[in-house]
Amino acid sequence: MGKIAFVFPGQGSQTVGMGKSLADQHLSIQEMLQKADEKLGYSLTDLMFNGPEDKLTLTSNAQPALLAASMAVLKRFEEEGIKPDYTAGHSLGEYSALTAAGAITYEEAVWAVHQRGNLMEEAVPAGQGAMAAVLGMDRAALEEIVSRISDEGDVVAAANFNCPGQIVISGSKEGVERASEQLKEKGAKRVIPLNVSGPFHSPLMKPAAEKLRSVLQEANVQSSHVPVIANVDAKPVQDAESIKENLVKQLYSPVLWEDSIQTLLDAGVDTFVEIGPGTVLSGLIKKVNRRVRTFAISDEESIVKAAAAIKEDGQ
């Protein structure tokens, strides 16, 4: 059997009701989620279980809620005795990956991403930033177009390299609109505007990044037990100072997800476990390499099934 990576979803995977069935079945998970409520000073759990959806979707709520839901699933999955060789997470999911790898405690991570969400919301007033998914466009050609538009004064940048043929752009409303038109003219199959509250992973997030630095100092980040593949350079990291520096850069730099998966494949990973709500990452991983095994776990049934399959393979 090859190596195992635990991967964690980012913002957009949140759904009302996430984590509820596990909390109903396991008192230890109920208690774990309540610790997030205590740390934040409001009932994140109630928001996760009951909504309303528009409030859960706010960046400052969605980020801690997703991290808490992912860590609840992880807690139950760890009881099956399966450990990762590597962890990785998409954008916000990198904080879940770092928590899973022991670089930051659960409570500190919940608090840090709540602060991160606040900073991201404050960085660019609503309506002034935008993001769009670009399908079927060559990476180098896209980077050339967005670079030229930015040089002309309308900020736009590649934000996520998700998988072959799927890149997200981010920046000012005008920059994203201009880039969308030009990318379609240059052969992009589709450009889909995203329903997000800000221009994440673009240079417009730099003011928030500097404030995030002091949040991370307070959050007591440690060196990790296993390597975490960083979004900013798709390289394994364990050293505490490097982790913090990467997280600051991550706010305004592209998420190199396709490259991160390639790094894991090159390191001998053949089993990916997506831990938390949704199946987005499993789909992206299959587009990088369709031969690898992926498991998406979010409730008791999917946890038990995945654990049984991995253990059977390891015998």
User: How large is the average pLDDT for residues 226-248?
Assistant: 98
Final residue before a domain boundary, out of 153, 169, 196: 196
The predicted model scores a pTM of: 0.97
- Same domain, residue pair 116 and 12: yes
Q: Are residues 84 and 213 in the same domain?
A: yes
Q: Are residues 64 and 161 in the same domain?
A: no
Q: What percent of the chain has pLDDT over 70?
A: 99
Domain identity same for 84 and 222: yes
Q: What is the pLDDT of residues 41-95, one digit of tens each?
A: 999 999 999 999 999 999 999 999 999 999 999 999 999 999 999 999 999 999 9
- CB-CB contact of 222 with 240 (8 Å): yes
Write the CA distances from 91 to 9, 209, 230, integer angstroms.
8, 14, 9
Q: N- to C-terminal Cα distance for the chain?
A: 9
Cα separation, 39 vs 113, in Å, equals 12
pLDDT at 127: 82
Bridge partners of residue 273, in order along the sequence: 6, 295
Q: Which of 119, 121, 59, 122 is nearest to 92 (CA)?
A: 59
Please give the helix or strand (H or E) that residue 209 lies within, else none: helix 206-218
Residue 149 lies in domain: 129-196
Residue 198 has pLDDT above 90, yes or no: no
Q: What pLDDT score was predicted for residue 180?
A: 98
Q: Are strands 86-89 and 228-229 parallel, antiparallel or unpaired?
A: parallel
Answer yes or no: do 134 and 117 share one domain. Answer: no
Backbone torsions φ then ψ of 213, nearest 5 degrees: -55, -45
In whole numbers, what is the pLDDT of the chain averaged over residues? 96
**Cis peptide leading into residue 254 (ω within 30°):** no
Nearest of 56, 101, 69, 132 to residue 298 by alpha carbon = 69
Q: Which of 143, 161, 196 is where one domain is finished?
A: 196
Give me the amino acid identity at 204: L
For position 144, which CATH number holds? 3.30.70.250
Known catalytic residues are 91, 201
Same domain, 107 and 220: yes
Residues 79, 303: contact at Cβ < 8 Å?
Answer: no
Co-location of 190 and 211 in the same domain:
no
Q: Per-residue pLDDT averaged across 185-211, rounded?
A: 93
Closest CA to 269 of 90, 86, 82: 86
Q: What is the CATH number of the domain that holds 117?
A: 3.40.366.10
Q: Do 100 and 215 fall within a single domain?
A: yes
Helix then strand count (H, E) for the chain reads 14, 10
pLDDT recorded at residue 196: 82
| Residue 125: predicted pLDDT | 83
What is the spatial distance between Cα 276 and Cα 258, in angstroms, rounded to a whole number? 19
Q: Which of 261, 206, 198, 197 is nearest to 229 (CA)?
A: 261
Domain shared by 160 and 183, yes or no = yes
Question: Do 217 and 231 belong together in one domain?
Answer: yes
Check residue 84 and give its pLDDT.
98
pLDDT digits (tens, 9 = 90+) for 260-314: 999 999 999 999 999 999 999 999 999 999 999 999 999 999 999 999 999 998 7
81 and 157 belong to one structural domain: no
Is residue 157 helix, strand or coil?
strand
- Whether 197 has a pLDDT exceeding 90, the answer reads no
Query: What pLDDT score was predicted for residue 126?
Result: 77
One domain, residues 250 and 162: no
Final residue before a domain boundary, out of 159, 177, 196: 196
* Cα(19)–Cα(105) distance, integer angstroms: 19
Tally of domains within the chain: 2
**pLDDT score for 195:** 82
